[in-house]
Homo-oligomer: A and B are copies of this chain.
Amino acid sequence: MERTYETQAGCPVAATLEVIGDRWTILILRDLLLGKSGKFKDLLESLQGISPNLLAERLKRLEREGIVRRSFYSDHPPRAEYVFTDKGQELGSVVRAIARWGYSYRLADEERERASRRLPWLDPAKPEPA
């Protein structure tokens, strides 16, 4: 990703945004955090609207940064899915904070009900999962 703000050197916010500062990347992290399939074709389907090339590029970047790794579930033929590393898992706090704010301020009532049935921790009154 191009660096548009060299003058932000030393800023931990800017430093994180260099790696996850685009929306598709955060939606990829969301899927992995929710335990959805990390297979390329499943991610492509979940993130409808992303192109295969863009998804491949984003996953490569996340892998290069040590946020995801490939886990092979078949050797013949070789087939892998993307899973979090520990470093990636710790981005869960970012995704959850984003989700909780969206839950409180951006969802319609019926969307909010549906979402909190699936993910009780979205409700700010409930504790965040560990």
Contact = CB atoms under 8 A, between A and B. Distances in A.
Contacts of A99: 12-13, 16
Nearest to A101: B16
Contact of A26 (B9, B17, B101): B17
Number of identical protomers: 2
A98 interface: yes
Nearest to A12: B102
A115 B24 CA distance: 29
Given A87-B105, A97-B94, A97-B97, A115 B12 contact: yes
Interface of A: 4-19, 21-24, 26-27, 30, 47-50, 87, 90-91, 93-107, 111, 114-115, 122
